[in-house]
Structure 1
């Protein structure tokens, strides 16, 4: 216990290793090994550069020094055995939880979201349109299992200082269902916290010929009488062409005259493979062409007809339409808009 107390109270010391002048963090050797988990990163250290005899100079992972947006993790830790729809801890580091503050001691799960900047989260406008006072909301990043604190790295909570709802959002139809949440102070980028990329305006539209995409969230497992998941879930989905989606939606209670607004895209349509109630605001991410293991957010979970039971695609906000809108609002607050862009 005494040894652990020393580790907690002693802040890591950043020093330069004598051989390559790259920065490193002094820490016990066993923690350095855990930092570079599963042998995926070469460990470089020099015992002589640290003042404490039990520490080594452990080089910082490159992903923490120059973390790019959209980098999927997947080898940090554990997931539930046999649950292919449960991502590894830290696998989707842009995933955020939106809590509504009910009183000084109680917060309630509301929606999902995605981190694009140290102080900015994207979510669905319908998640926050009923309570537009930012102080009523809390964002959590780095979460995996909401019922457990026995995780490899801690989550981070931040209060929302400002809500920006798209000026052409319509509650009745959910068109332009997008909002920005500005955080009161920055989150720290760690192995389980990172940014998602947003698609550039000139990005070609995705088709069913592309690699499958991922929707994720802490929503329910069924539309009626479903239970919220305490653990982050994911599901792989195809992008559905607009004409195919419209035909499918018109075969439901929406009727044959239904018009799908241009602010929406569709994904899914496979039996029991869908986002559901409580997943609103969560991201739909797709691989970036030519960059394996890196993702862009193409959709925001918006609405659907049931949840995966009738083979009807789910409907998502088309994020590619809102790049300029996001840039304008973040730049006006002097935020670095390059953090969520890829080249």
Structure 2
């Protein structure tokens, strides 16, 4: 035994073997250390290092018999024995006398099974494979872990893994079915596969048998075959300047041709009398009318010698009188379904509370009064169009509810001035016979006739809203006459109308009241269409004799309106409706020289005025 080993063994045995007494020789053999356990350490034991399967512990702590000729040094610097790990004490070890089975470490996982792609596939990075498992080198998405687990990876090149993805489909030109489909752009085909009147979320191009089918539109542009929506025929009543005629009588502009034969105008060929009118002979938005002698026809305008030949009829401001059961029992002020198709209503989202009226001017914008919506956030409101009877679903055509995206107000808005706002909708409106935009006026256009106001007003600020939409014909009032009438109220002689104000009304029991705010003052043209002259704003009282109401002039605020409205139409050839002169019957008893006495004109008595009210 070397000198260094003897010194280490002697230092280790110092705690277990007593040192030599006085007078004893150092060459004396040390006594054997025993333990109550199964091991003992000899004084002549050889100092060793325990292997991987054992641990150095005191001899009394080892339950397995061990060799007494080998010794080791524990972590506490005591002499011990190498004891197997099954019986070594420690955390998580079974009590003495029991063996713990030690499982061998798991083998390393096998390398992933590489798959071989087919002839119609290629191994690409997972982010280049779209949802339909076609290669799309333009996209960048996260790898699909589930697909890798099911199908396994493939090898792109040494050390890189990918997925098997189908090759991009080859384009293939197809022909659409003539009677069922039409070639359109994919953003004009809705989710159900029908042609849409406005742009929607683009539909995916169909892939059939590995080919991406496309069709040819005009000028060689590519599109997809989309189904033609079913025709919904709507029966209407013709306007005052229209007649219900048979097929082949209306020209391209919608006027009755110079036909003198009454049978050709009001009759109908025998093959159409018992059946429906052909689709190509239907009126705008698939409308039809009942001919006087039986059968179906379309409403066509009477010849108008003043209308310019090269000018097309306006596509806005049309009033469709849609036939509906019970129209004969309505009172004079109630409208016919579709008669005011530009009317819109604004509601609260949470409570469905009626907020204000509005006017459709395009397929995305609504015009209303600013004081109606100034206290709301856009997320609190929604707009309903096509409503006829409030909170009922009995109309022949459904209404549309659309959320509000933004509200634009006039930059020079005052307490009573420039009370106008433009509401932008979240999506486009779908125009139907009962949902139509009104025409906007031209710059510096003036209105002097009688105009129409509509809504569900509360008469004289009391009572409840009308269930059925009503309308009133009101005379427009010149600015000087309107100021004179308002001077007689509490506003006084110092009140002046602003440039953005327009007056109408002043007749007893006939006025726009609370609930009509935001609605349009629509003035009819001689061609049967309507133009928006004003927006209902405020009044002094309601329906009082000699006190007209005040509207925001659309003509004076047209620059602001045209800035935020896209797709609106201006009336191309507006003319006032000619006034019908009353017929005076000559009485034989009245001498020709005598004239009837006319009552002296007197100023109307103005009632006690109330505070000016902003309509709600």
TM bracket, shorter-chain basis: 0.7 to 0.9
- Structure 1 CA distance for aligned equivalents of residues 284 and 454 of structure 2: 23
* Aligned with residue 285 of structure 2, among 40, 64, 88: 64
140 and 67 in structure 1: CA distance in 2 versus 1, 3 angstrom threshold: farther
Alignment match, 1:318: 553
The answer to whether structure 1 residue 98 and structure 2 residue 346 are counterparts is yes
Secondary structure of 1:187 counterpart: coil
Alignment match, 1:231: 468
**Is the 2:236–2:321 contact (alpha carbons within 8 Å) kept by the matching residues of 1?**
no
Residue by residue, what CA displacement relative to the aligned partner does 1:238-268 show, whole Å, maximum 9, x if unpaired?
Answer: 0011111101111011112111111101001
- Structure 2 CA distance for aligned equivalents of residues 301 and 144 of structure 1: 19
**Is the 2:439–2:570 contact (alpha carbons within 8 Å) kept by the matching residues of 1?**
yes
Alignment match, 2:134: none
Q: CA deviation at 1:63?
A: 2.2
60 and 220 in structure 1: CA distance in 2 versus 1, 3 angstrom threshold: farther
**Is the 1:222–1:276 contact (alpha carbons within 8 Å) kept by the matching residues of 2?**
yes
Alignment match, 2:458: 220
Alignment match, 1:189: 431
58 and 280 in structure 1: CA distance in 2 versus 1, 3 angstrom threshold: same
Q: CA deviation at 1:233?
A: 1.0
129 and 26 in structure 1: CA distance in 2 versus 1, 3 angstrom threshold: closer
80 and 121 in structure 1: CA distance in 2 versus 1, 3 angstrom threshold: farther
Secondary structure of 2:321 counterpart: coil
- Structure 2 CA distance for aligned equivalents of residues 12 and 328 of structure 1: 33
**Is the 2:500–2:557 contact (alpha carbons within 8 Å) kept by the matching residues of 1?**
no
- Structure 2 CA distance for aligned equivalents of residues 56 and 227 of structure 1: 43
Secondary structure of 1:117 counterpart: coil
- Structure 2 CA distance for aligned equivalents of residues 26 and 59 of structure 1: 14
The answer to whether structure 1 residue 278 and structure 2 residue 522 are counterparts is no
Alignment match, 1:51: none
- Structure 2 CA distance for aligned equivalents of residues 244 and 262 of structure 1: 15
- Structure 1 CA distance for aligned equivalents of residues 314 and 323 of structure 2: 16
Query: How many residue pairs were aligned?
Result: 293
- Structure 1 CA distance for aligned equivalents of residues 391 and 436 of structure 2: 22
Question: Where is the helix percentage greater, Structure 1 or Structure 2?
Answer: 1
- Structure 1 CA distance for aligned equivalents of residues 539 and 430 of structure 2: 34
- Structure 2 CA distance for aligned equivalents of residues 282 and 92 of structure 1: 11
43 and 150 in structure 1: CA distance in 2 versus 1, 3 angstrom threshold: farther
* Aligned with residue 86 of structure 1, among 334, 341, 344: 334
Q: CA deviation at 1:113?
A: 0.6
Residue correspondence of structure 1 range 1-343 to structure 2 within 5 A: 32=233, 35-37=234-236, 40=244, 42=246, 58-59=279-280, 61-64=282-285, 68-77=315-324, 79=327, 81-101=329-349, 103=350, 106-131=351-376, 133-170=377-414, 173-203=415-445, 205-207=446-448, 210=449, 212-223=450-461, 225-288=462-525, 290-291=526-527, 293-330=528-565, 335-336=566-567, 339-343=568-572
Secondary structure of 1:244 counterpart: helix
The unaligned stretches of length 5 or more in structure 2 are 1-191, 197-227, 239-243, 249-274, 287-312, 573-616
**Is the 1:216–1:232 contact (alpha carbons within 8 Å) kept by the matching residues of 2?**
yes
Q: CA deviation at 1:199?
A: 0.4
Residue by residue, what CA displacement relative to the aligned partner does 1:106-145 show, whole Å, maximum 9, x if unpaired?
Answer: 21101101001111000001111111x2121111111100
- Structure 2 CA distance for aligned equivalents of residues 298 and 13 of structure 1: 35
Secondary structure of 1:182 counterpart: strand
Please give the TM-score of this superposition, normalised by the length of structure 2: 0.44
- Structure 1 CA distance for aligned equivalents of residues 560 and 279 of structure 2: 41
Q: CA deviation at 1:67?
A: 7.6
**Is the 1:26–1:55 contact (alpha carbons within 8 Å) kept by the matching residues of 2?**
no
Q: CA deviation at 1:55?
A: 10
**Is the 1:122–1:181 contact (alpha carbons within 8 Å) kept by the matching residues of 2?**
yes
Q: CA deviation at 1:179?
A: 0.1
- Structure 1 CA distance for aligned equivalents of residues 384 and 391 of structure 2: 14
Alignment match, 1:7: none
82 and 55 in structure 1: CA distance in 2 versus 1, 3 angstrom threshold: closer
80 and 114 in structure 1: CA distance in 2 versus 1, 3 angstrom threshold: farther
Secondary structure of 1:213 counterpart: strand
147 and 262 in structure 1: CA distance in 2 versus 1, 3 angstrom threshold: same
**Is the 1:25–1:58 contact (alpha carbons within 8 Å) kept by the matching residues of 2?**
no
Please give the TM-score of this superposition, normalised by the length of structure 1: 0.78
